[in-house]
Amino acid sequence: MNLSDAAASNLLSKVPRPEADETELIKRARSGDRGAFGMLLERYQRRVVGVAMAVAHNQDDAIELAQETFIRAYENLAKFESRSSFSTWLYRIAANLAIDFRRRESRHVLLRGEDAESELSRLPSDRGDSFHETSRRELNRRINRAVKELTPEHRAVILLREVEGLSYDEISEVLQCPRGTVMSRLHYARDRLRELLKDLDEG
Amino acid sequence: MATCRQTKLLLGPFDDGELEPHEMEDVAFHIVDCTDCKAALDSYRQIGVALRDAIVVPALDGFAQAVQMRLESLREPLPGRIARWLEPLVERFGAAAALGATAAAAAVITAALITPYARTLANGKEKPSKVVSENLAAVTPPPAPQASASTVINDLSKVEAQRPSVALWNEPRTDTTVIWVPN
Query: What is the per-residue pLDDT for A198?
Result: 85
Could you report the predicted ipTM of this complex, rounded to two decimals? 0.75
Residue B66 forms contact with A (CB below 8 Å): yes
- Rounded to 10°, the helix B35-54/B4-16 angle is 40
Using an 8 Å Cβ cutoff, are A147 and A57 in contact? yes
Q: At what angle do helices A131-149 and B35-54 cross, to 10 degrees?
A: 100
A30/B9 CB distance under 8 A: no
Q: What is the pLDDT of residues A70-125, one digit of tens each?
A: 999 999 998 888 778 999 999 999 999 999 998 887 765 544 444 444 444 444 44
For residues A47-63, average pLDDT = 91
Nearest beta carbon to residue B12 from set A33, A67, A186 = A186
> Which pLDDT score is estimated for A66?
96
Tell me which of A114 and B151 has the higher pLDDT. Answer: B151
**Smallest Cα distance from B127 to chain A, Å:** 59
Which tens digits make up the pLDDT trace of B34-79? 999 999 999 999 999 999 999 888 888 899 999 999 888 877 666 6
Please answer yes or no on whether A162 and B51 come within 8 Å at the CB atom.
yes
Cα gap A49→A63, rounded to integer Å = 6
Q: What is the mean pLDDT of chain A?
A: 81
Residue B148's pLDDT band (boundaries 50, 70, 90)?
low
- Alpha-carbon torsion (A122, A125, A129, A133), positive or negative: positive
Mutate to test the interface with B, among A169, A183, A200 (most CBs of B within 10 A): A183
Rounded to 5 degrees, what angle do the CA atoms A201, A168, B67 make?
100
Task: With beta carbons less than 8 A apart as the criterion, state whether A86 and A80 touch.
Answer: yes
What's phi and psi for B31, nearest 5 deg? -70, -15
Q: What's the Rg (C-alpha) of chain B?
A: 46
pLDDT given at position A118:
44
pLDDT at A20 over 80: no
Enumerate residues 6+ apart whose C-beta is below 8 A from B143: B151, B152, B155
Write the residue in A46, A162, A163 that is nearest to B60 by C-beta: A46
pLDDT tens digits, one per residue of A144-158: 999 999 999 999 999
Q: Is B173 on the interface with A (CB under 8 A)?
A: no
* Closest partner CB to A32 (pick from B40, B57, B77): B77
pLDDT for res B170: 72
pLDDT recorded at residue A111: 45
Q: In this predicted structure, what is the pLDDT of residue B174?
A: 75
CB contact under 8 A, A32 and B83: yes
CB within 8 Å of A63: residues ≥ 6 apart: A49, A52, B58, B63
- For chain A, domain boundaries: 18-114
- A200 contact residues in B (CB cutoff 8 A): 50
Question: What residues have CB less than 8 Å from A201, skipping those under 6 apart?
Answer: A194, B43, B46
C-alpha to C-alpha distance for B152 and B164, rounded to whole angstroms: 18
pLDDT at residue number A58: 85
Tell me the shortest Cα–Cα distance from B93 to chain A, in angstroms. 22
Length of chain B: 183
Q: Is B159 touching A (CB cutoff 8 A)?
A: no
At A18, the pLDDT band (50, 70, 90 cuts) reads low
Contact (CB<8Å) B81/A33:
no
CB contact under 8 A, A139 and B60: no
What is the reported pTM? 0.63
- Return the higher-pLDDT residue of A165 and B85: A165
Query: From the centroid of its chain, how far is CA A155?
Result: 12
Nearest to A201 by CA among B50, B31, B6, B15: B50
Considering only CB atoms, which chain B residues are within 8 Å of A159? 51, 55
Q: Please state which CATH class domain A18-114 belongs to.
A: mainly alpha
CB contact under 8 A, A62 and B68: no
CB within 8 Å: A78 and B77: yes
Q: Which pLDDT value is given to residue A123?
A: 42
Please answer whether residues B89 and A41 qualify as being in contact, where contact means their C-beta atoms are separated by less than 8 angstroms: no
